[in-house]
Structure 1
């Protein structure tokens, strides 16, 4: 169904010339549980891109960003989230990217479907983006994103230390029209697949490939990206325990 929607929405652009770029993205995620229902998360990431005449994935830095989340889990089926973020899009004239700082906030809802090892999630996100345009004005752009994602542990029942897991997702983006984002309703389609590994019970490494197709008037754009994510859970309490030890009821220190 998703492929049908994408086909219908991009019919006007499929015959246009497509310019392809290769990218390398990385992100470090830190999350901390406040209680069984509430948690905090912080992300920092960057993107590198190729340029015409340069084949290296690290030819030019394209983007830096930081993002802070608040999550609420009312039950084991739903996860409701809010984030506020800053994105710095660097000036890279070789790929027709101008300098465009952006402040972004979003509300998000995830619904979980679990079938033995398999975890299927459906995610909807509404983003309120304020992007600096050519007139040096931060222009408001709203965007709706819908994603289906599958995670499947390969050699264990759950994601834990020593467990490999597969990842796959399909995501559609829709936006409002503006000077900075263009007039089209459909923004892009992103398909990704990868694998993760539990370094410890609280730290995972994920490597994935994604393709983004952006239908644009005159010339479509396609981004092939290699993504590396490192995910830490409840890192600060474990650092404190490693540095200062844990006091026993008798008051002595046990490491």
Structure 2
């Protein structure tokens, strides 16, 4: 793994936001990148015709198994995975329904688990995995009404540590990145109110949101042999939100 120059990598949520920025960066660096997303056209735009673009709803077990079967057929194995697919819910605590709560967890928690399970089974010579959590999972939320999201990302943090314990002896390093509020389509709805956006920006030391292009290199590093002894770690990339 440490001697590998060109890696075979799967990115979920590769059609937009952090997933797209990460996929583009890794493609630019010469790696083989499978772009997985519910929006196949978005995935195809990022893949650019030279890399696999695969439609998948990560909350659907059969769809995930099929998608990683396509990855195996394309790459004959896998060296790295980044789980960037996720959804956000901003309904108030009191108005959050079980159906809303369940859907967020189906995508963010079960979806992450399914992709970890399928990818790890393809890493016969070891590999690297980076899950995407959030500072919301560390802080208990950053905006009012994010109970389902914050809880789901807390679960991702715990899942990553469990996967690190289980997969480490197999030569698979597992880490997570916890971004703050990043200026992507993902955050467009909760930040459409100027006052809310200004308040969130003020929660950082830099008084601004991060960009997907600032998170992508951190994920790329966690997936690289340069991070060969980093395992079971949470890399916070939030512009200083979590220290407040």
Query: Is the TM value for this pair above 0.5?
Result: no
Provide the TM-score with structure 1 as the length reference: 0.30
- Considering only CA atoms, is the larger Rg found in Structure 1 or Structure 2? 1
| Structure with greater strand percent | 1
Provide the TM-score with structure 2 as the length reference: 0.31
| Structure with greater helix percent | 2
